[in-house]
Amino acid sequence: MKKIIAFVLLFGFFSCSKSENEPDPSGTDKDPDPITTTPGKGEAGVVGTEGIEAWEKLSVSERDRIKGWNTIFMHQSVGADLEDGASANGFRFEYFDLTEKPDKGLSGNVFSASNGMPFEKIAEFKKHVLTHKSIVKIAIFKFGYADIRDDNMEEVKTAYKQVIDDLRAQVPGIRFVHVTPPLIYIATKDEGNAAKMKVAQWMKDTFRDKDVIFDLEQIESNNGSCKLGAVWRICDEYRSTAACPSKGQGVDAPEGQGHLCEKAATRISKAFLLSIYNAGK
């Protein structure tokens, strides 16, 4: 009888050990959430193409610091390309919304407002930040490539500046990363890139002494070497094509879009990650 009891206890021990060490067959097993930490004061300024190499030169331990900072990234389309690129580099953004807390380090969400609705996006960003103001340490807003035009540019600048000022006053200590508006591919005529260039310069002039500006326009145009006349456009090697599609957005139209090819997104996102690092180092 004692032998039977011993066998049962031994079998139960090994059964429990096995189940605790194996992944959940339902697919819900995942890496543990990072231990969140408080960012430092940060270093304001502009991060462009040089940010790619600067990120690569950081030690693994320095890069991993950003995994512990509660950061939210609100975006659409090209922003999803940046998230995919960051994930390919080992920095995944977890989902958050008004009820799902961004308390796991890096978190992202797509605007419910459509591309071409910048004012609604700005209001949505403000609502999310204020909802989680006790959690969020770094906030990132990115316009879509259809949001800024000649006929709304000044109003967009005013609305965006007002929201940043409001959040800075209502959420003490919050840090911002501003993203210059993504460019589209133009071959025959400009469809808003000139207005986006003006907003990008305005962002740098307005915020570079307080916050970090991720200069996506500079990177994807090779600092203006890719252009139509005097207007910058996304370079051929970065845009989503049949030879190198966007991971989540597919292949762009011949003209008028500006998604990032998967290989380009992986490279460009290194400067994006450095922008987060600079905001909280």
Domains of the chain, start order: 52-280 (3.40.50.1110)
Percent pLDDT > 90 in the chain is 85
CA proximity to 242, closest of 256, 255, 227, 252: 252
Structure token digits, residue 196? 């986006």
Residue 13 is encoded by which pair of tokens? Answer: 């021990």
173 vs 86: CA distance, rounded Å: 25
Residues 6+ apart with CB under 8 A from 11: none
More confident residue, 116 or 17: 116
| The predicted structure's pLDDT at residue 159 | 98
Of 24-28, 65-69, 109-113, the poorest mean pLDDT is in 24-28
CB atoms within 10 A of CB 111: 24
Q: What does the mean pLDDT of the chain come to?
A: 90
pTM for the complete prediction? Answer: 0.88
Quick check: 114 pLDDT over 50? yes
CA distances from 64 to 37, 86, 92, 130, 175 (A): 11, 12, 11, 27, 18
Q: Among the listed ranges 25-29, 65-69, 130-134, 197-201, which one has the minimum average pLDDT value?
A: 25-29
pLDDT digits (tens, 9 = 90+) for 229-257: 999 999 999 999 999 999 999 999 999 99
Q: Is the pLDDT of residue 3 over 60?
A: no
* Averaged pLDDT for residues 260-275: 98
Q: For 6-41, what is each residue's pLDDT tens digit?
A: 443 443 433 333 333 333 333 333 456 668 889 999
